[in-house]
Amino acid sequence: MAGRPEHEPEPGRAGAGSGQQARRLATPLGLRARVIMAFTMGALVLSALLAAVTYGLVGENLVRQREAVATDQAYLNARYLRDRLRSSGLQVASPLDSLETTGGGSPVLLREGVWFAPLGVGREDLPASLRDTVIGGEPARMRFPLDGQIQLAVGIPLPAVSSAYFEVTSFEELEGTLNSLGISLLAAALVTTIAGATLGASVSRRVLRPLSHVSAAAVAIAGGRLDTRVARIDDPDLGVLVTSFNEMAGALQERIERDARFASDVSHELRSPLTTMTASIQVMEGRRADMPPRAQAALDLLVADVARFSTLVEDLLEISRFDAGAARLDLDDVCISELVMHALAAASDAEVPLAIAADAVDAVVQADKRRLVRVIANLVGNAESHGGGATGVSVDRAGAGHVRIAVEDAGAGVDEEDRERIFDRFFRGAAAGSRGQGDGVGLGLALVHEHVALHGGRVWVEGRGDREGARFVVELPVSRQTASAPEPDPGPAAVPAVRS
Amino acid sequence: MGTRILSVEDDERIRTAVRMGLEDEGWTVDEAASGEAALEVFAERPTDVVLIDLMLPGMDGFAVCRAIRRASDVPILIVTARADTHDVVAGLEAGADDYVTKPFQPKELSARIRALLRRARPAAAGTSQLSFGDLEIVPDEGVVRRAGADIHLTKTEFRLLCELASVPGRVFSREQLLERVWGYDYFGDGRLVDVHVRRLRTKVEADPAAPRHVVTVRGLGYKLQA
């Protein structure tokens, strides 16, 4: 079913062109996302940099200290070894063995072309350049990788005993320290980054809050609540936005209200002459029999057009109140089937068949009776002017929460493309040319739409399947099913029914 | 003696057309172009119904309503520009019995006047006296007493009370009361009932804010109880 949705105000109709769309595609991220991202990236870069520098400095410092200690130890060991070799001659193994316990290094000794390496680390493991330098008579120190670990090799020539002493120290335990330092710094960087993101989110929310208020107010204004304003804020930068928005809203409201007031004033002023006219016409109608036929015919014209004029003035006044946002609902619990019955009887002289579904008989709607009666009258009137008269009216339920009132006619129907626009003011479709007696003035259906929307319902027109004609459907929300309707009028003789 | 209607309207053409229409009904029409003039005419001549346009220069229609209501319980019909404004309720609260909106059909106007002219038909005719606690109603004499003291009600208020008293304890919907008291069909304005019930309470209830006799039954209507 081609339901006709309510006329929602189209948000941002003014600037929603293709340009905006293109811009939206080019910058898919919103301001908030960008602010959060900037904060996150900033925090990430800063903390990573800080962590890296800290790691580098502390690491280097630790390595230096370790090197200094290892070098001192190597010199101590070398001196000890030299003394021992000098005193004990060729016995190499025992002084080397005794070196094991002092310091954490692995000793390697070159004595008269023979390499001694009691702890597995031997000649092949030492970097060649270091070996050459030391054998050449220069003490040297070098960091080098061995088995995937950084090692420090210290080489000291011992010319007095025609030897060279090397000591290889592992940084294993230092690496453990550095690892945990690295993990700590990484964790700190991560925490900082998360804190940055959180801060960014909070800042962006604070910054954007006035904007979201402005946006909500704009939507409200577009929806017809013209007196909506944004609460003042202290921030001098965003305050300007709020102030100018409120000024704009005020100017807009004033203008719309002035327009609506003008229409209202005009129709109001027309009421006085109309009152005189309707009263005078009735005086003339009372003397109709005394009039010559031509005067009678003229009176008939006058009667018809004063009635039409009255309707137009009433409709204009009504619609200007909608425009001014001054339309107020005078709500009451209304039994919908009863209302349709009475409204139909009053709206049409012809007998229009009314079908009320069993489950809709006691449906109660929170409604403004006067407005709903006008809705039925206008729909029936529309069927009479453009559809050859209403052929049937039905009331039934649409799900649990809604009731539908449908007015059918057997006229030419409404073209598919006109089914939305037919509810526009002064809309004249294909039927415009065929306006004969000139009943409607083109506001009836627009008012139907306004009244129904005010009740939170909707109205649409559809075809009648394979038959000719149109079906106008009004859907209203039901407030409750059970009619706690008062008992039918028992008349004076009825037994008093006492309710507690 | 024929029915005299006082028509208060500042627009001369409307006044004349309305007078002609009412005269066609066989009624005598006195005219006043302002509130002040209306009060003078009202003081001089016996009047059966007063028709007041609310929009008057100088003393407005509400003030005329109140002034007449202070002096008399004559039925007052107000003419308003709009049905859905506060004017209607304010006019009813100023003492009016019913209203019509411009531009009204003269037929509609005379139907309203006829409804107001109907004698306070005792709905509980034949019953000499009805008692609801400290409230006594004597329909045939048009007398209401609370705790023995006479209460002064307008014709419409009295008729409303009699309708509610016709079946004690029964709940009357606003539609039913509109039909029985004002002679409206389905399309009467429920605010007529509400305002009149409010006015009635200020007279018959010891504490109008906590009514004991004229009780609202939520979503249903009103009932009268002891």
Crossing angle of helices A172-222 and A236-286, in 10° steps, is: 20
pLDDT attached to residue A405:
93
CA distance A460 to A2: 8
CA distance to A315, A493, B147, per residue, from A446 (Å): 10, 47, 57
pLDDT at A332 over 70: yes
| Average pLDDT score over residue span A84-93 | 68
Is the separation of the CB atoms in A440 and A387 below 8 Å?
no
DSSP codes, A474-489: EEEE-SBSS--PPPP-
Set of chain A residues whose Cβ sits within 8 Å of the Cβ of B173: 485-486
CA distance to A87, A364, B70, per residue, from A379 (Å): 128, 21, 46
CB atoms within 10 A of CB A79: 13
CA distance B55 to B61: 6
Ramachandran bin of A89, using left for φ above 0, alpha for ψ from -120 to 50, beta for the remaining angles: left
* pLDDT class of A441 with cuts at 50, 70, 90: low
Minimum CA–CA partner of A327 in chain B? B84
With a CB cutoff of 8 Å and minimum separation 6, the contacts of B157 are B196, B199, B200, B203
CA distance to A64, A105, A153, A175, per residue, from A150 (Å): 13, 13, 10, 9
Decide which of A324 and A378 is more confident. A378
**pLDDT of A121-137, one tens digit each?**
777 778 888 888 888 88
**Are the Cβ atoms of A492 and B190 closer than 8 angstroms?**
no
| Average pLDDT score over residue span A220-225 | 81
Specify the amino acid at residue A221: I
pTM for this prediction: 0.62
The pLDDT > 90 percentage for chain B reads 40
Structure tokens at A40: 């996150």
DSSP codes, A6-53: --PPPTTTTT-SHHHHHHHHH--S-HHHHHHHHHHHHHHHHHHHHHHH
Report which of B178, B175, B163, B180 is spatially closest to residue B214, judged by C-alpha positions. Answer: B163
CA distance A498 to B215: 13
CA distance A393 to B93: 39
pLDDT at B226 over 50: yes
**Are the Cβ atoms of B84 and A328 closer than 8 angstroms?**
yes
Four-residue CA torsion sign, B143, B146, B148, B154: negative
Minimum CA–CA partner of A496 in chain B? B167
CA distance A94 to A75: 18
**Are the Cβ atoms of B102 and A275 closer than 8 angstroms?**
yes
CA distance to A268, A385, A407, A416, A471, per residue, from A440 (Å): 20, 7, 17, 21, 18
**pLDDT of A45-87, one tens digit each?**
999 999 999 999 988 898 888 888 888 888 888 888 888 777 7
Query: Any CB–CB contact under 8 A between A308 and chain B?
Result: no
CA distance to A82, A101, A158, A497, per residue, from A75 (Å): 10, 15, 11, 120
**pLDDT of A289-326, one tens digit each?**
999 999 999 999 999 999 888 888 888 888 887 877 77
Nearest to B14 among A276, A283, A369 (CB): A276
**Are the Cβ atoms of B103 and A328 closer than 8 angstroms?**
no
At residue B35's C-alpha, the angle toward residues B30 and B40, to 5°, is 60
Interface test with A, best of B27, B132, B175, B184 (most A CBs within 10 A): B175
Nearest to B21 among A272, A283, A339 (CB): A283
Report which of A414, A426, A445, A420 is spatially closest to residue A4, judged by C-alpha positions. Answer: A420
* pLDDT class of B2 with cuts at 50, 70, 90: confident
Interface test with B, best of A264, A278, A284 (most B CBs within 10 A): A278
Is the separation of the CB atoms in B161 and B137 below 8 Å?
yes
**pLDDT of A381-427, one tens digit each?**
888 888 888 888 999 988 878 999 999 988 888 888 888 888 888 77
DSSP secondary structure code for residue B141 in this structure? T
- Identify the three-state secondary structure at position B105: coil
- Identify the three-state secondary structure at position B78: strand
**pLDDT of B110-160, one tens digit each?**
999 998 888 544 455 556 778 888 888 887 777 888 888 888 888 889 889
Phi then psi dihedrals of residue A496, to 5 deg: -60, 125
**Are the Cβ atoms of B167 and A494 closer than 8 angstroms?**
yes
Q: How many CB pairs under 8 A join A and B?
A: 103
Long-range (24+ apart) CB contacts under 8 A made by B148-151 are B151/B203, B151/B204
Report which of A476, A471, A460 is spatially closest to residue A6, judged by C-alpha positions. Answer: A460
Burial class (CB in 10 A: 0-12, 13-18, 19+), A125: middle
**Are the Cβ atoms of B21 and A277 closer than 8 angstroms?**
no
In Å, how far is A382's CA from the nearest CA of chain B?
21
Crossing angle of helices A444-454 and A369-386, in 10° steps, is: 150
pLDDT attached to residue A394:
92
**Are the Cβ atoms of B20 and A280 closer than 8 angstroms?**
yes
| Average pLDDT score over residue span A171-176 | 78
How are strands ordered across the β-sheet holding B135-138? B130-132, B135-138, B143-146, B149-151
pLDDT at B196 over 90: yes
B 162-201 residues inside an 8 A Cβ radius of A: 166-173, 176, 185-187, 189-191
**Are the Cβ atoms of B176 and A486 closer than 8 angstroms?**
yes
pLDDT at A434 over 80: no
With a CB cutoff of 8 Å and minimum separation 6, the contacts of B38 are B6, B8, B32, B50, B52, B64, B68
| Domains with residue ranges and CATH for chain A | 28-223 (3.30.450.20), 238-323 (1.10.287.130), 332-495 (3.30.565.10)
With a CB cutoff of 8 Å and minimum separation 6, the contacts of B153 are B73, B144, B161, B200, B203
pLDDT attached to residue B27:
94
Q: Which of A4-8, A154-158, A292-296, A416-420 has the lowest mean pLDDT?
A: A4-8
**pLDDT of A355-374, one tens digit each?**
999 888 888 888 888 899 98
Report which of A200, A171, A192 is spatially closest to residue A39, judged by C-alpha positions. Answer: A200
pLDDT attached to residue A242:
85
Query: Any CB–CB contact under 8 A between A276 and chain B?
Result: yes
CA distance A153 to A67: 9
pLDDT attached to residue B145:
87
The pLDDT > 90 percentage for chain A reads 16
Minimum CA–CA partner of A310 in chain B? B103
Specify the amino acid at residue B148: G
pLDDT at A21 over 70: no
CB atoms within 10 A of CB B199: 19
**Are the Cβ atoms of B176 and A489 closer than 8 angstroms?**
yes
Burial class (CB in 10 A: 0-12, 13-18, 19+), A357: middle
Q: Which of A6-15, A38-47, A100-109, B14-23 has the lowest mean pLDDT?
A: A6-15
Q: Which residues on adjacent β-strands are paired with residue A157? A: A164
**Are the Cβ atoms of B187 and A330 closer than 8 angstroms?**
no
Query: Any CB–CB contact under 8 A between B13 and chain A?
Result: yes
| Average pLDDT score over residue span B162-174 | 87
Burial class (CB in 10 A: 0-12, 13-18, 19+), A246: middle
Query: Any CB–CB contact under 8 A between A13 and chain B?
Result: no
The pLDDT > 70 percentage for chain B reads 93
- Token pair 């109309």 in the structure block, residue: A274
Four-residue CA torsion sign, B169, B173, B177, B183: negative
State ipTM: 0.85
Phi then psi dihedrals of residue B105, to 5 deg: -80, 135
Set of chain A residues whose Cβ sits within 8 Å of the Cβ of B171: 486-487, 499
* pLDDT class of A435 with cuts at 50, 70, 90: very low
Report which of B117, B116, B145 is spatially closest to residue B130, judged by C-alpha positions. Answer: B145
CA distance B179 to A345: 17
Is the separation of the CB atoms in A33 and A179 below 8 Å?
no
- Identify the three-state secondary structure at position A261: helix
Nearest to B103 among A274, A373, A484 (CB): A274
Q: Which residues on adjacent β-strands are paired with residue A405? A: A395, A474
pLDDT attached to residue A95:
63
Report which of A139, A148, A147 is spatially closest to residue A167, judged by C-alpha positions. Answer: A139
With a CB cutoff of 8 Å and minimum separation 6, the contacts of A62 are A174, A177, A178
Q: Which of A259-268, B41-50, B61-70 has the lowest mean pLDDT?
A: A259-268
| Average pLDDT score over residue span A244-272 | 83
- Identify the three-state secondary structure at position A4: coil
CA distance A43 to A200: 10
Set of chain B residues whose Cβ sits within 8 Å of the Cβ of A310: 103
Is the separation of the CB atoms in A299 and A288 below 8 Å?
yes
Structure tokens at A289: 């029999």
